[in-house]
C-alpha cells in the first residue's frame, strides 16, 4: 500500500483500535482459482509484536481447506471514508489551485493462518465475538439464550481461523497534507453533510488541527 510519510500510521494501539471499531475484514488469499476475497468479522487480540486475528467461517466456505496452516494471507480493514470537495478549501479562494480528493482510513494485516476445526476454539471464539458486540445493548443476547442442541448444530457448521499478524500497516489520509485553514474548511464542510462517515471523518480531520 502506498503510504506517503504524512499519511503513514504505525502505532499498534491506534491500528488495533481501528480494527475493533471496524471489525469486518476482507481476507485475501491466493487460492486454486487465483486471488479470492472473503468478508469476515474478526476480533483482534494482543499477541507478539502485532497481534492475533480470530474469526470463523462457514464450513461450506472452501477457504479453510484451500489454505494450509502457516499459509500467508492479507486482511484489510476499512475505516471512515469520504469525498472531499475543493470547495471546502480556503486555498480555492486564494489561488484556485485545488482538486478533489478522497479521505479514508485503512489497516492492512499481513499474517499466517491457522485453521481450528475443534469445538473448544469455536465455543470460545463465538462466545467472545457475541459478547463483544452485544455489550451495552438492552436485552443483550447470549449464546446461552439459544437451546444447547441448536448451538451444537451451528458449531458443526463452522470452522475457526486465526491469523498471526507478521506485518501491520495503516494509512490515515485525513487532510494532513493541507494547510490548517484548508483542514478547518474540510471539518466545516463535512459537518454540513448528513452521513455518519462524514461525521467520523470530520472528527479525524479535527484531530490534526
Q: For residue range 101-145, what is the model confidence (pLDDT) as tens digits?
A: 999 999 999 999 999 999 999 999 999 999 999 998 999 998 989
pLDDT of amino acid 31: 86
pLDDT of amino acid 6: 93
Distance CA 92, CA 105 (A): 25
pLDDT of amino acid 33: 85
10-residue averages of pLDDT along the chain (209 residues): 94 97 97 93 96 97 94 97 97 94 98 95 94 91 91 95 98 97 97 93 96
Q: Which three cell numbers stand for residue 209?
A: 488541527
Strands annotated E in 12-120: 24-31, 34-41, 43-45, 52-58, 72-84, 101-116
pLDDT of amino acid 32: 87
Write down the domain spans for the chain: 5-85+98-176
Instruction: Provide CATH code, domain 5-85+98-176.
Output: 2.30.110.10
Give the global pTM.
Answer: 0.93
Task: Using a pLDDT cut of 70, give the percent of the chain over it.
Answer: 100
The separation between CA 34 and the C-alpha centre of its own chain, rounded to angstroms, equals 23
Distance CA 48, CA 208 (A): 30
Residue with C-alpha cell 479525524?
204
Question: Which residues partner with 116 through β-bridges?
Answer: 160
Amino acid at each position: 500500500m502506498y503510504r506517503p510519510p504524512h499519511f503513514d500510521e504505525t502505532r499498534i494501539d491506534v491500528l488495533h483500535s481501528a480494527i475493533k471499531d471496524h471489525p469486518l475484514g476482507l481476507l485475501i488469499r491466493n487460492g486454486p482459482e487465483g486471488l479470492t476475497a472473503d468478508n469476515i468479522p474478526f476480533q483482534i487480540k494482543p499477541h507478539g509484536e502485532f497481534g492475533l486475528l480470530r474469526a470463523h467461517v462457514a464450513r461450506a466456505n472452501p477457504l479453510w481447506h484451500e489454505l494450509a496452516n502457516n499459509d500467508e494471507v492479507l486482511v484489510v480493514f476499512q475505516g471512515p471514508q469520504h469525498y472531499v470537495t475543493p470547495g471546502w478549501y480556503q486555498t480555492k479562494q486564494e489561488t484556485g489551485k485545488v482538486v478533489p480528493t478522497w479521505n479514508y482510513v485503512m489497516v492492512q494485516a499481513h499474517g499466517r493462518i491457522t485453521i481450528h476445526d475443534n469445538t473448544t476454539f469455536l465455543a470460545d471464539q463465538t462466545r467472545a465475538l457475541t459478547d463483544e458486540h452485544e455489550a451495552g445493548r438492552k436485552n443483550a443476547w447470549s449464546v446461552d439464550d439459544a437451546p444447547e442442541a441448536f448451538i451444537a448444530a451451528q458449531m458443526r457448521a463452522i470452522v475457526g481461523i486465526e491469523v498471526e499478524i507478521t506485518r501491520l500497516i495503516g494509512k490515515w489520509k485525513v487532510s494532513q497534507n493541507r494547510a490548517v485553514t484548508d483542514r478547518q474548511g474540510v471539518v466545516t464542510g463535512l459537518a454540513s453533510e448528513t452521513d455518519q462517515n462524514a461525521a467520523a471523518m470530520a472528527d479525524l480531520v479535527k484531530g490534526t488541527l
